[in-house]
Structure formats: structure tokens, C-alpha cells
Amino acid sequence: MKIFQKTFTILAVSITAGLNIFGTRSIAADLAVRKNVVDLTSQEKTAFVSAVKTLFNTTPEGSTINLYEQFVVTHVESMGFGMSTHHHEEDTAYGPAAEAGVDAAHGNAGFLPWHRELLSRFENLLQSVDPTVTIPYWDWTDPEALDIVLADDFLGPRGQGGTFTFNGQTIDAGLGTSAGGPVQSGPFSEAEGWVLKSEINVDMFGNSRGTSLVRFTQTPAFSNSYLPKEDIEFALSQDNYTDFRHALEGEPYTDSQGNYISKNFYNHNGAHPLIGGLLFNENNEPVAALGTMTTVTSSPYDPVFWVLHSNVDRLWAEWQDNGHTGTAYYPAEGQPYGHNLNDRMWPWDGGQSRPGNVGSGHLVDLLPVLASDDIVTPADTLDFRKRYGYTYDTLQTKIPEHNSTSGLLGLGALGAGSLLKRKQKQITLS
């Protein structure tokens, strides 16, 4: 594992310096391509892992958490509008997103644009470390893909040797044919420095889930290494954005024709438990999230989060390319605030709203500081080629209109656009 222990001191300094300035990012005519994990070369796997670890080992000036954890905290706090989670009077949420009282990133129309923006900012920061890196995608319908994702030369291995206590009863890590527990080796183990902060690694009720990355793969309800392709085909067959989003997120819903779709834990909501593990009671109700990926709040602590959500974004991009391009295929109104076409999405809302604290600590205080004019709406995210400069290997190549900038860089990891210019293939501080 020595290859993953390589330090990136100069690059880390460059990243940290870049967070305190404003700059612009060029979009070259050639689009960055996000590839299927099964097609990655060994060099591409190593580059991705090394860039991720560099972010984890870099703490920007003025912050008490590293660059990677700024993304985790933002994901945690996106749920701070939808729960009564603030424990201190001074932590009361405010703004239109707080008045709406729903999750800023899940369970509503903004699920797809919110995560598209988050992934792009994460990818831009990775490219500040290594311009060749993109976020690959995990096609969870491919029976071979999970073993590649969790291989020792990529994001693996599986967890092992752990136990889980539920209602006072200790559950064996074996869980039948599955395996689970802390990740004990590889680049994302505690032994190799991937130590989670217990105050950030919290569930939806604010309970800490410890300092280890935990995986429980193929638990009884998710005994295969893949999910049914038919569920993806069903989602892609929807002509209405709301129906498509429900089906891709993987939740029960009443569709635009008044039909109730009762299925649950499929597509996105099924892929998380493939890695994290989920226990159900005799009534088939979920009762216990076992691992990091099913602790949805802090699930980005598991790097598999990024390849899972890259696939979610790919499927949205495919749906868009298949006759659903533009603002006509996103709800202009009728959604909770933050989820309509032209609403500001937290945290890229110019300071308009603030969530309540999730957990007993002060996670809001750990959020990265963003520029007051760093404002993103769902409408801004729709043209992924033009705004972000990437595509997927399953999509036909389309050259975006020239756009010299993609907006001002904010401060902190979530405001950090790529500091590189693609044509120059180098880090530029300006």
C-alpha cells in the first residue's frame, strides 16, 4: 500500500492557497469523460484514490476540518432543514429553506441538481490535485462491478470482524452469508489514516457512529452484489421529471397518473445498502442502518458515495439526452423552497438560509464559508456539458458552446472550482 502513502505537499499547499482567492475556470472544447469503474486502468484507480486522500489530508487555513470533511458536513447539514435537530437556542435555522422545513438535498425535486453541483465541486477539487482525474461511476446493475469497486486496488476492501447492537442484542457481523464491520486494511482504513471524526459521523438522530469506515455488504435483504436492471429501465421510461426523480431516487410515490408505486429501497436507495447494510424487521420495515453508507447523513465519509452518485447523475444525463433537455423538464413551481427551478439551493444560496445543527455539536460552525455571490439554482445545473464541462462514456459527444468561465470560486472546499485550465493541464493560481 505504499503507493497510497505518497504525500502531495506542494499540491496541498496550492489547493489551500487557492481556496482564499477568486478565480475562473476555463471550459475547453474537449469534455472530461467520467468512465465506468470496470473500465478504469490501474493508473486511473491509483490517481483517483491518491487525489481523494490528498483532500482528506489537507486542512485549509482557518478550518478545523479537512477539505474532504467539508463535503461530508455539508451533506449532513443538508438534512438540518427537515428535522428538529438543533439543540441550542443560537442554532435555530432561518431563511426560506428553513421555513420550507424539508431536506435540502433528498426526497424532493432538488435531489438530482443538488448532488450534481456537489459532485462537480468535488471533482474540480480532485482535479486541482490531478487534472486527469474524473469521478467514475458504479453501474450497480452490473454483477461484476461491486467486486471492482471494493477491490484492494481501488475503494476496498469490505468490512469485517464487526458487531452491531440493536435493541440491546448483539448481532453477529456475519449476518448469514454477508460480511461486515470496520474496513481494516487498504487506503480507507483507520490504519492508513482514514479516521472519521465522531462528531461529524452521525446518523439522522444525531448519534455518533464512531471513527471507522464501516461496510456490511450483501445483508439478507440485499443478498446479491447488484440491483435489478429493470428498475433502471423503469425510471428511464418515465416522461415526467417528478416520476423519474422518484424512481431514480428509489422511493414509493404516487405518479403523475395517480398510480401508487409501492416499491422501496431500489435504484439509489438500494445501492446505499449494498455497501452499508440495512436490517429489516418481520414486517419488512427498516430498523437498523449498519454501515457508513446507510448512515445517509454522513455517507460521503465512504468514498463509494462518489461513484454511486456519479451513476445517479449519469442516469439523469441519459434521461435528459433522451428527449428531456432544458427547463421544460424540471418543475418551475409547486415544490418546497430550494427545489423549484429558480430557487436558490442551499448552501449555494448567498447566505439566504441556514440549517439547524444535526447532532449535539455545532456542525453548522464547521461548514465552509462561501462567497455571497456563489448562488446556484436547479436551472443552472441542467446543461452539464456547458456548465461543468464533463460527459459520460455512455453518452454521445456534444461540444458545449464556448463559455470562458463557470462562475466565481467561493471560499472553502464547496466553493472551490477547479484551479486548472483543461487545455493547459496545470494548476493555475490567479
Task: For residue 348, give the nearest of 14, 106, 105, 52 by alpha carbon.
Answer: 105
CA–CA distance, 400 with 389 (Å, rounded to integer): 8
Task: Average the pLDDT over 163-171 and give the result.
Answer: 56
Sign of CA dihedral 378, 380, 383, 387: negative
**Does residue 189 lie in a domain region?**
no
User: Is 211 a domain residue?
Assistant: no
Which tens digits make up the pLDDT trace of 120-154?
A: 999 999 999 999 999 999 999 999 999 999 999 99
For residue 196, being part of any structural domain is answered with no
Give the pLDDT of residue 428: 25
Q: Is residue 268 part of a domain?
A: no
Report how far residue 370's alpha carbon sits from residue 376's, in angstroms, rounded to the nearest whole number.
Answer: 12
Band (182; pLDDT cuts 50, 70, 90)? very high
Instruction: Report whether 420 contacts 426 (CB < 8 A).
Output: yes
User: Which pLDDT tens digit goes with each residue over 296-336?
Assistant: 999 999 999 999 999 999 999 999 999 999 999 999 999 99
What digits encode the pLDDT tens for the residues 224-238? Answer: 899 999 999 999 999
Q: What is the mean pLDDT of residues 155-160?
A: 92
pLDDT tens column, 273-291:
999 998 887 787 887 889 9
Q: Which has the closest alpha carbon to 382: 175, 151, 120, 61?
A: 120
Which residue has 469534455 as its cell numbers? 31
Residue 296 three-state SS? helix
Strand ranges (E), 308-404: 390-392
Task: Quote the CA–CA distance of 185 and 29 in Å, as a whole number.
Answer: 41
Measure the CA–CA gap between 239 and 257, rounded to whole angstroms: 11
Helix (H, G, I), strand (E, B) or coil at 343: coil
Give CA–CA dist 225/112, Å, rounded: 25
The predicted pLDDT at position 380 comes to 99
Question: 279 or 16: which carries more pLDDT confidence?
Answer: 279
- Across the range 198-210, mean pLDDT stands at 91
Higher pLDDT, 399 or 82: 82
Give how many domains the chain has, as a whole number.
Answer: 1
pLDDT digits (tens, 9 = 90+) for 78-123: 999 986 544 444 567 899 999 999 999 999 999 999 999 999 999 9
pLDDT of 396 reads 83
Asked whether residue 180 carries a pLDDT value surpassing 70, the answer given is: yes
Looking at the domain assignment, is residue 269 inside a domain?
no
- The per-residue pLDDT of the chain, averaged, comes to 85
- The strand pairing partners of 182, in sequence order, are 214
What residues form DSSP beta bridges with 33?
391
What CATH number did the domain enclosing 34 receive?
A: 1.10.1280
116 belongs to a structural domain: yes
Q: Is 161 within the bounds of a domain? A: no
Position 174 pLDDT exceeds 70: no
Q: What is the pLDDT of residue 288?
A: 81
Residue 195 banded pLDDT, cuts 50, 70, 90: very high
Reduced to 3 states (helix: H, G, I; strand: E, B; else coil), residue 332 is coil
- Domain span including residue 408: 1-143+307-430
The torsion angle over the Cα atoms of residues 112, 118, 121 and 125, rounded to 10 degrees, is -130
Give per-residue pLDDT as tens, 326-362. 999 999 999 999 999 999 999 999 999 999 988 877 8
The per-residue pLDDT for range 260-277, each reduced to its tens digit, is: 999 999 999 999 999 999
The confidence score (pLDDT) of residue 192 equals 97
280 falls within a domain: no
**Can you give the C-alpha Rg of the chain in angstroms?**
20
The pLDDT confidence band at residue 413, using thresholds 50, 70 and 90, is low
pLDDT tens-digit map of 25-68? 444 458 999 999 999 999 999 999 999 999 999 999 999 999 99
